Structure 1
Amino acid sequence: MATGGGRGFPRAWRSRVPWLWVLLLVVIGLLRATNRFLIDVANGHVTPFLPKLVEELTGSLSFGACLPLLFIALRRMPRTLWAHTLVFAALSLAQTTLMIAMRRVVFGLMDEPAFAYGSTVWRYLMEVPTQLFFYAVIVVGVWLLDRYREGREREVRNAQLESALSEARLEALRLQLNPHFLFNTLNAVSELMYERPRVADEMLARVGELLRATLSATTQEHPLRDEWRLLDLYLDIQRARFGEGIDAAMVADESLADTPVPFLVLQPLVENAIEHGGVGDARFVRIEARRDNGQAIITVRDGGTGGVPRAVNAAAHTGIGFGNVEARLRHLYGDAAGVRLEAAETGSVVTLWLPLRTGATP
């Protein structure tokens, strides 16, 4: 949050900032006058408190009146010794002149002209040490504030760049799926085009529907119900391709319908199960989604010959598929999600776990 020009304050407080600034200056003057009065009491030489209060208030208020111009000068001036010397000289001259004028007016209204003093050279010089001290404090404070702002802005920029880079990586991973799936499907269509043209036409129609859905996506996540719909479209393509040779089913806990999942995260897993987990011309795949200990658990089970080595080798050497899913989960959820490939009694099973949450997806 910015701090300059009242921007660091809540909107309701911005109109109060000038009054709070004046109140601070008054408090400073009051404290300094009290200090001087108590010193006189301690020394056994008590003098009236009111003149001291007027002197200190006119000193603090006149200095406060010059500060806005000082801040403007410090923002625009070159950071050189000569520039600081000129700015301080101008500040000292202006503040002392204003202070002397205020004291003459106030003491004149109080009918106490004896407490006012003339604008001699010594009066100007006697204010220099105090003014120099506060000038140095302000310059150092402005410098530290600028460094703090620059550090915060640099952190924000780095966070934005890191977020943009992460989003770009995720988008690249997601976009890998479309050509990978498209090439595999078109190869299958080309195999069927002459022998079973009607099946090839049906597959192309399903491919068009699925690509329209994927290309119109604008987020990295969507509800599980939408992922289920896209997966059903993909399985329709495979049913058209394999006919009765494929046995595919999906089962999901209805309470998980709104759970956000990565876009098209299941399709490459199901594709691996169909392409590498079959026996001859038979294809068996079961996709299940359930909840367990605050997580959404999704399993993709195939009906291969049993034993994990074949499935592991197939998944590991696709370059996309399993590795893509693993990378996307790591980017989106860190250690809160993951994917694992294991042997089953017949074939293999891929288990994917995600943090269980509901609501709008980013």
Structure 2
Amino acid sequence: MRKIKSILTSQWLQHLTFWVLSFYAIGSYFSISNELKIIDFIYAAFFHIPLVALTYINLRYHVPKFLLKERYVAYLLLSFFNISFAYFLHQVVFEVLIPILPTDFYMVSFTDMSVLMTIFGIYWLLTTLLKLSKSWYQLQQLEKEKLSLELNSLKMQINPHFLFNSLNSMYSLARKKSDKAPDAILRLSNLMRYMIYEVSEDVPLSKEVDSINDYLDLHRLRVNEDATIDFQKEGDMDEQMIAPLLFFPLIENSFKHGLKGEKGENYVKISLGNYANHLAFHIVNNKGEADSTEEGDYGGIGLENVKKRLNLIYGKKSKMEIIETAERFEVSIKITWS
């Protein structure tokens, strides 16, 4: 199936199909009888000499060098000269080349200038539109590939310190023969499986919620007992699909930069609501004195990652708001479904 798709999307096949249809159309248009004869295809072949020149000058040079670079005036001027050149080449073919060829067929260009210029203009416009549509399609594919690469990059951004601390916590639980150890190992296993294997495409919101719960429970193993880690959900989480790992960089930032205040003042609070026409996500954490390795813009790469993914996936249907004070940092995200 992949091989067939590759053949159907190959450039040479697309061009061959275009010119076969063009030969048939030109041959039919200029045919002097009700059925196509050899002379009609020979005439179409000579007629296509200026058409091929016009088309590939436009496709290979004018469109990529001028139109796609938004040099519109230059493109229009060059297109005018291109069409004029095609007309001149047509005259050379039929008035100079064909008369000196040893052939039993007698062919002349019985098309007046207005009809010829109209035909050349149609081919110029048609090939330009086809090139633009192909460029647009390629741009969309590049955006999808870029999104896929960003998602794969995000999957590899699991904080190694988080893994290290989680494994240390599990080791401590195992040494104490705590009943929590098996559950902690299972949660880490579930989280790793989800991040590595189950996020190649959109996932049910309920799966994202389950993974956030696993992530939070693992953090609860290593933070002080007086710290507040709260996750509130509202609405139906089963039917709605969402881009995976969308909120994880924000949650990771909250644990990385937050929970550094005085005893009893540490918190990470998350709320997620799925409503009739939109989804609302909100996260807030307290702030404390930053470590020397954490100086700089708060959130950094994580925030930029979320912004880019929101823009690529949801565009104008998404909105992200950041509020930062000396005591807290919070982020709100709204995604409109319809």
Q: Do both share a fold (TM > 0.5)?
A: yes
Q: CA deviation at 1:251?
A: 2.8
Q: Which residue of the other structure, out of 132, 140, 157, is the alignment partner of 2:110?
A: 132
Say yes or no: does 1:284 pair with 2:267: yes
CA contact under 8 A between 1:297 and 1:352: conserved in structure 2? yes
Match of 1:267 in 2: 248
Q: Secondary structure at the match of 1:297?
A: strand
Match of 1:162 in 2: 139
Q: CA deviation at 1:219?
A: 4.3
Q: Give me the TM-score of the superposition, normalised by structure 1.
A: 0.57
Letter in 1 for 2:247: L
Letter in 2 for 1:132: F
**After the TM superposition, which residues 187-226 of structure 1 pair with which residues of structure 2 at under 5 Å, given as runs?**
187-189=164-166, 191-192=168-169, 195-197=172-174, 203=184, 205-217=186-198, 219=200, 221-226=202-207
Match of 2:304 in 1: 323
Residue-pair matches, total: 272
Match of 1:352 in 2: 333
**After the TM superposition, which residues 74-223 of structure 1 pair with which residues of structure 2 at under 5 Å, given as runs?**
74-75=47-48, 80=89, 82-84=92-94, 85-87=96-98, 132-134=110-112, 139-189=116-166, 191-192=168-169, 195-197=172-174, 203=184, 205-217=186-198, 219=200, 221-223=202-204
Letter in 2 for 1:275: K
Give distance in 2, aligned partners of 1:206 and 1:315: 32
1:284-314 Cα deviation digits (max 9, x unpaired) = 3332223679432111133x269xx98xx97
Letter in 2 for 1:290: G
Give distance in 2, aligned partners of 1:333 and 1:187: 34
Q: CA deviation at 1:88?
A: 8.2
Q: Which residue of the other structure, out of 236, 249, 258, is the alignment partner of 2:230?
A: 249
Where structure 2 has 5 or more consecutive residues not aligned to the other structure, the ranges are 1-13, 54-88
Give distance in 1, aligned partners of 2:146 and 2:305: 11
Q: Secondary structure at the match of 1:320?
A: helix
CA contact under 8 A between 1:315 and 1:321: conserved in structure 2? no
Give distance in 1, aligned partners of 2:325 and 2:34: 85
Letter in 2 for 1:183: P
Aligned-residue Cα RMSD (Å) equals 4.5
CA change 1:197–1:245 in 2 (3 A) is: farther
CA change 1:224–1:340 in 2 (3 A) is: same
CA contact under 8 A between 1:316 and 1:322: conserved in structure 2? no
Give distance in 2, aligned partners of 1:71 and 1:142: 13
Q: Give me the TM-score of the superposition, normalised by structure 2.
A: 0.61
Letter in 1 for 2:162: T
Q: CA deviation at 1:222?
A: 2.9
CA change 1:319–1:240 in 2 (3 A) is: same
Q: Secondary structure at the match of 1:132?
A: coil
CA contact under 8 A between 1:289 and 1:298: conserved in structure 2? yes
CA contact under 8 A between 1:170 and 1:220: conserved in structure 2? no
Greater mean deviation of Cα atoms: 140-149 or 61-70: 61-70
Q: CA deviation at 1:356?
A: 1.7
Letter in 1 for 2:210: R
Q: Which residue of the other structure, out of 282, 293, 304, is the alignment partner of 1:299?
A: 282
Greater mean deviation of Cα atoms: 252-261 or 319-328: 252-261
Give distance in 1, aligned partners of 2:321 and 2:116: 59
Q: Secondary structure at the match of 1:264?
A: coil
Please say which structure displays the higher CA radius of gyration. Answer: 1
Say yes or no: does 1:234 pair with 2:211: no
Q: Secondary structure at the match of 2:156?
A: helix
Q: Secondary structure at the match of 2:157?
A: helix
